[in-house]
């Protein structure tokens, strides 16, 4: 009986601490860029500037404005999420291309820490001017060199970038999610 009381107290304490510390539900992969806190989770990268914007939001009131300056690979990386994608079928996101020309947006998905070039998913999507609603079926994710299927239960990071833009480019991204 004493053991049961101690167990209940311990479980109650853990639940209370979890609520008080603001522990996020990492069971979902969802980025809608509504608060400044999300900016702290994005690793800073030279030649990329990002900020919240009220323009071109598709979920909530804000989107992520990304200014990509001339350099080898300007972009953003998402890596603060639950790595297990095995219960989902598709990666979706919305990108608004403010430029008057199509842009080639590269997407890199790693299922290992620091994989070699040939052992990661890399795919390019053409962004037309205006809104682009992108859907990538997860069963199509395979490495670019070895043609190995990406391990959906071990996703480490997702990166969106341009390859060697010759001048500054601006895009807005929102509602990055798994379904």
On whether residue 155 sits in a domain, the answer given is: yes
On whether residue 8 sits in a domain, the answer given is: no
Tell me, what's the pLDDT at 42? 87
Q: How many domains does the chain have?
A: 1
CA angle in degrees (0–180, nearest 5) for 123-54-48: 45
CB count, 10 Å around CB of 136?
16
Tell me, what's the pLDDT at 28? 65
Instruction: Give the Cα separation of 103 and 74 in Å (integer).
Output: 13
On whether residue 1 sits in a domain, the answer given is: no
On whether residue 100 sits in a domain, the answer given is: yes
CATH number at residue 129: 2.60.120.430
On whether residue 135 sits in a domain, the answer given is: yes
Per-residue pLDDT of the chain in tens (179 residues, 90 and over written 9): 554 554 454 434 343 333 333 333 445 688 999 999 888 888 888 899 999 999 999 999 999 999 999 999 999 999 999 999 999 999 999 999 999 999 999 999 999 998 998 999 999 999 999 999 999 999 999 999 989 999 999 999 999 999 999 999 999 999 999 99
Q: Which of 16, 55, 48 is nearest to 33 (CA)?
A: 55
Tell me, what's the pLDDT at 24? 39
Quote the distance between the C-alpha of residue 91 and its chain's center.
Answer: 10
On whether residue 11 sits in a domain, the answer given is: no
Tell me, what's the pLDDT at 172? 98
On whether residue 116 sits in a domain, the answer given is: yes
Tokens of residue 173, six digits: 């991204």
On whether residue 10 sits in a domain, the answer given is: no
Range of the domain at 160: 26-178
Across the chain, where does the E strand assignment appear? 30-31, 48-53, 63-68, 75-78, 90-97, 103-110, 121-127, 130-137, 157-161, 169-178
Tell me, what's the pLDDT at 153? 96
Give SS3 for 178: strand
């Amino acid at each position: 009986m004493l053991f049961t009381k101690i167990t209940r107290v311990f479980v109650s304490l853990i639940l209370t601490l979890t609520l008080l510390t603001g522990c996020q539900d990492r069971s979902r992969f969802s980025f809608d860029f509504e608060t400044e806190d999300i900016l702290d989770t994005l690793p800073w990268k030279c030649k990329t500037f990002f900020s919240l914007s009220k323009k071109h939001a598709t979920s909530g009131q804000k989107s992520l404005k990304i200014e990509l300056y001339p350099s080898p690979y300007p972009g953003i990386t998402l890596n603060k999420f639950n790595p297990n994608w095995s219960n989902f079928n598709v990666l979706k996101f919305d990108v608004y291309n403010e430029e008057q020309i199509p842009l080639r947006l590269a997407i890199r998905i790693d299922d290992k820490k620091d994989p070699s070039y040939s052992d990661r998913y890399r795919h390019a999507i053409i962004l037309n001017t205006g809104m682009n609603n992108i859907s990538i079926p997860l069963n199509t994710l395979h490495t670019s060199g070895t043609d190995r299927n990406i391990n959906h239960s071990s996703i480490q990071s997702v990166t969106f970038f341009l390859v060697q833009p010759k001048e500054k480019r601006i895009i807005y991204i929102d509602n990055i999610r798994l379904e």
